[in-house]
Amino acid sequence: MAKSKKKNVKQTLRLERTSKDLARVLGISEGACRSWLRKEGLGVGIGGRYKFSETEAKRIIRRLQAEHGDMRIAVYPGSFDPVTCGHLDVIERAANVFDKVIVAVLENSDKKHFFSTKAREDMIKRLELPPNVEVGIFGGLLVDFMKKHGAKILIKGLRAVSDYEYECQMAWINNKLMPECDTFFVPTSEEYAYLSSSIVREIAKFNGDLTGLAPKELHETIYGGLNGRCRTN
């Protein structure tokens, strides 16, 4: 009897889904997902969880995809230490092409950054970004982050021919790990071809003018971080 009860508990857990789970798979807002689930007459269970079979889950996903279309979700990864006008240029251009762009801030304990991971994420979130742009943090394999967010497209900015060889290698590796992953190269705009985070840090360290190099609303944060010798992971 106890064995049967244990089996039923496992089955119940397997049938539980949340609107957030489905929304993440589809790349749509959780609000839109909840609205459609209500139309289907699926009430919210304990803890905001819905219970339905795998077949029902697939039916819900197919209906939501038919209603909202298959979204093209792209991930733009980087250290952004700090974010520059060149980064912002790539973000805005990618947002004009893809349905959703996720700016993925690298968290790497093996590499020393001048700004903490949270500070780098917060700086990007403070910018006036297109409405279809989100910001997140990732560690480990980039393809795992992509799978988690239902993305199949990588965005990489190219400043010079020297960037191309390395980025091609990374594109091949990511495609090997995730065959459905495609990398789109975005050549930087001419006015930012020379620009990098390290250049911005070096200028800020000596209180140089960051106009046209880093977003204006971040100047004080960058000056404060660099002149305070802020070196954290």
Domains of the chain are 2-68 (1.10.10), 73-227 (3.40.50.620)
> Any idea what the Cα angle at residue 88 is, between residues 205 and 171, rounded to 5°?
105
> What pLDDT score was predicted for residue 4?
43
> What pLDDT score was predicted for residue 14?
40
> What pLDDT score was predicted for residue 226?
76
Rounded to 5 degrees, φ, ψ at 142 are -60, -35
Number of H helices, E strands in the chain: 10, 7
> What pLDDT score was predicted for residue 196?
94
Rounded to 5 degrees, φ, ψ at 98 are -105, 155
How far, in whole angstroms, is CA 197 from its chain's centroid? 19
> Any idea what the Cα angle at residue 15 is, between residues 12 and 21, rounded to 5°?
130
Tokens found for residue 227: 């002149």
> What pLDDT score was predicted for residue 179?
94
CB 204 within 8 A of CB 220: no
Active-site residue set: 87, 111, 159, 197
Tokens 């289907």 belong to 40
> What pLDDT score was predicted for residue 150?
85
> What pLDDT score was predicted for residue 36?
64
Hey, which residues does 73 pair with through a beta bridge? 100
Quick one: which of 99, 78, 73, 106 has its CA closest to 188? 78
Alpha-carbon gap, residue 36 to 151, rounded angstroms: 22
> What pLDDT score was predicted for residue 7?
38
The one-digit pLDDT tens for each residue of the chain (233 residues) are: 444 433 333 333 344 566 676 666 655 566 666 666 666 666 555 455 666 665 666 666 666 666 655 678 899 999 999 999 999 999 999 999 888 899 999 997 677 888 999 999 999 999 999 988 999 999 999 999 999 888 999 999 998 877 888 999 999 999 999 999 999 999 999 999 999 999 999 999 999 999 999 999 999 999 988 776 443 33
